[in-house]
Chain A
Amino acid sequence: MKKQKKTLAGLQKRKAISGYIFISPFLVGFAVFMVKPLLQSLYMSFCNVEIAAGVINPVFTKIDQYKYALTIDPQFNQLLVQEFTRMLTNSLAIMVFSFFVALILNQEFKGRALVRAIFFLPVILSSGVILGLETNNSLMAQMQTDINEAVSGISITATVENLLRTANVGTKLFEQVFSIIDGIYDVAIASGIQIIIFLSGLQTISSSMYEAADIEGCTAWESLWKITFPMISSMFLVNWVYTIIDFCMRSDNQVIDKINSVMITDINYGLASAMSWLYFLIVMAFVGITSLLISKGVYYYE
């Protein structure tokens, strides 16, 4: 730091100072509303927070809260595993779906603007509270079970599933696939932003590349794998990270619900902090590892 200060002089130094002035709102906000609460909640997660007459009194208890959350609490474990598998399958499905849709929407055809507008509509219509409402309320849950019972015989996936089961084909994997197909609506409404990101990537590929490939005798299928795929591989990384983060913050996330109820209903701040840290660390580790793996395969053209 000191050494750099010495080397920066004149215009460079002035620019460095103006740079810091420009980002100062972020620095202040980051220190006050992120670092401090983050450290505080980390500390609280090791404590048993007692609240009496408006005074908070954290009592240090080492890792008891973590132990409680993982081993004693009846729900947290299950919810964690359940949400994690849901995140994994849904994120994969969203990636495939949005890539596919972006490929189609990038072609020239009549009414493209309209179709794009429709596909982007869910970004607006399924954000925030609206998404949670459809699943989170007891009335809807009742409706949903009714509907599921009513349609169980007539859905295509159920029929195929039955066929496969009688044919004794490995069912565990297929069940996941079928649950994704049944939930294609969820996938479609969650992939608006991802489609846009893929589209923006597709538009940066120059058409001369495809023309050259076409002249050399490449089929469209081959140029998809040899040109399109490598050229937008960095978008896969962006989208993957975005999808997972987005999934973690959705309002129908049950782990978050659990944490909120522990915090607001049970007023157990220590346990709530411990739970959210566990969740955060797992998600971070997952994002870190997967994005490292993906970034190995990313091709940078320049």
Chain B
Amino acid sequence: MSKVKVKQNSDFWERNRKSDGYLLKKTILKYGVSIARFILLFGMCFMILQPIFNKISVSFMTIEDLNNPTIISIPENPTTENYLMAAKLMTYSKSVVNSFVIALAIALLQISMTTLVGYGFARFEFPLKKFWFACVMLIVLIPPQTISTSLFLHFRFFDIFGLIKLITGDTINLRGSAIPYFLMSLGCMGLKNGLYIYMIRQFFRNIPKELEEAAYVDGCGTLMTFIRIMLPDAKPILTSCFLFAFVWQWTDGYYSKLFLGNVKLVSTELSRLVDSLGAFLMREMGTTVTIPASYGNAIMATGILMIILPLIILYLFAQRGFVESLSSSGIKM
């Protein structure tokens, strides 16, 4: 074993001598670069992961541990009290189920709609196509806040071209129910839907034309070609769009607050967490109490952990779906 090594070593020096020191320089450079890269990447990965580690350690601490300056990361008396408290305040089991159902339904609806639209933009020539695509770009650019005021009123006094008022004599109040958001998703106007249309169109554009023409020649209609030929091919990009839609819907606070105010969702419950903690303590003690900053922080960290836990599990299983399919599909402008 050692003999071989020596031989290799002497070989190395010989080759180095023959190449006038070029080999040595090259090898040193190679290892230097990988060491520098390792340090850099390790630092940056640590920076990204550190807040999560920190939250994990804080979430297991009791109030005494939190206030003890000698305890930094490993709690002295680990406790699951914080988890129970956060779960109670967020009505966790209920809101997780709600969030899951809504995020799943919305993501499915949005992706099926945006797939249709993206396919239409990618594979068909029709008049005014450029104009409509510019409109897609516009919905990416317009912050939803610009129209939130009138959407708010739109759904407060909901009507389809005055028809409903004609029949029942009054408009419908759709605020507080989930229907407006489903309607919007049906019309590709949900959260970041312009982005999905863009990504899906980009994917379909790269499929060779011959595939489609062969299907036409064999007697496939447009719809059949889409379902039989194109959809199976598009699985990776659809998966990654679906995962995005699910995750962004799961954590979205804006549309949830605007449309789903009455439904208990993890995202809206989380943003209320500290207030609910205050209210809970007030009920318990009977007087107004100031929550110690460290304790509020611990509960908040626990709440955030509990919300992102399902997402992390999802990410662990579908990591390839998130990263690889997106980077291999190649986004071009």
Q: Answer yes or no: A28 CB below 8 A from chain B CBs.
A: yes
B interface residues with partner A (beta carbon < 8 Å): 34, 37, 40-41, 44-45, 47-49, 51-52, 113, 116-117, 119-121, 123-129, 132, 135-136, 138-154, 157, 183-184, 186-189, 197, 222-223, 226, 247-248, 250-254, 267-268, 270-271, 274, 291, 293, 296-297, 300, 304, 307-308, 311-312, 315, 319, 322-323, 326-333
Specify the main secondary structure of chain B where it touches its partner: helix
In the complex, the answer to whether A29 meets B186 with C-beta atoms within 8 Å is yes
In the complex, the answer to whether A143 meets B293 with C-beta atoms within 8 Å is yes
In the complex, the answer to whether A133 meets B270 with C-beta atoms within 8 Å is yes
Q: Answer yes or no: A263 CB below 8 A from chain B CBs.
A: yes
In the complex, the answer to whether A139 meets B300 with C-beta atoms within 8 Å is yes
In the complex, the answer to whether B146 meets A26 with C-beta atoms within 8 Å is no
Residues of A within 8 A of B254 (CB): 128, 249, 251
A38 to B113 CA separation, bound complex (whole angstroms): 22
Q: A37-B147, A117-B315 are in contact. List 5 more A-B contacts (CB 8 A).
A: A18-B222, A19-B124, A129-B267, A130-B270, A256-B145
> How many CB-defined contacts (below 8 Å) exist between A and B?
254
In the complex, the answer to whether B189 meets A41 with C-beta atoms within 8 Å is no
Residues of B within 8 A of A121 (CB): 48-49, 315
Minimal beta-carbon separation of A23 from chain B (angstroms): 4
> Which one, B113, B149, B329, contacts A41 given CB within 8 A?
B149
A-B contact pairs, 20 of them (CB 8 A): A4-B127, A12-B125, A18-B223, A19-B126, A26-B197, A30-B188, A33-B183, A56-B157, A107-B37, A117-B315, A129-B271, A140-B297, A142-B293, A200-B328, A204-B330, A234-B333, A245-B143, A259-B145, A263-B149, A269-B153
Specify the main secondary structure of chain A where it touches its partner: helix
Q: Contacts A128-B267, A133-B300 hold; do A22 and B116 have CB atoms under 8 A apart?
A: yes
Which A190-239 residues have a C-beta within 8 angstroms of B? 196-197, 199-201, 203-204, 234-235, 237-238
A276 to B223 CA separation, bound complex (whole angstroms): 41
Residues of B within 8 A of A81 (CB): none
Residues of A within 8 A of B223 (CB): 18
Q: Contacts A33-B187, A129-B253 hold; do A22 and B274 have CB atoms under 8 A apart?
A: no
Tell me the count of chain A residues lying within 8 A, CB to CB, of chain B.
92
Residues of A within 8 A of B291 (CB): 139
In the complex, the answer to whether B189 meets A29 with C-beta atoms within 8 Å is yes
In the complex, the answer to whether B127 meets A5 with C-beta atoms within 8 Å is yes
Residues of B within 8 A of A46 (CB): none
A33 to B193 CA separation, bound complex (whole angstroms): 13
Q: Answer yes or no: A178 CB below 8 A from chain B CBs.
A: no
Minimal beta-carbon separation of A34 from chain B (angstroms): 6
Minimal beta-carbon separation of B315 from chain A (angstroms): 6
Residues of A within 8 A of B143 (CB): 245, 248-249, 256, 276, 279-280, 283
Q: Answer yes or no: A92 CB below 8 A from chain B CBs.
A: no
Q: Give B45's nearest chain A residue, CB to CB.
A: A118
> Which one, A16, A123, A272, contacts B126 given CB within 8 A?
A16
Residues of A within 8 A of B45 (CB): 115, 118-119
Q: Contacts A16-B126, A107-B37, A197-B331 hold; do A276 and B323 have CB atoms under 8 A apart?
A: no
A245 to B141 CA separation, bound complex (whole angstroms): 6
In the complex, the answer to whether A143 meets B297 with C-beta atoms within 8 Å is yes
In the complex, the answer to whether B274 meets A137 with C-beta atoms within 8 Å is yes
In the complex, the answer to whether B333 meets A37 with C-beta atoms within 8 Å is no
In the complex, the answer to whether A128 meets B222 with C-beta atoms within 8 Å is no
Residues of B within 8 A of A203 (CB): 327-328, 330
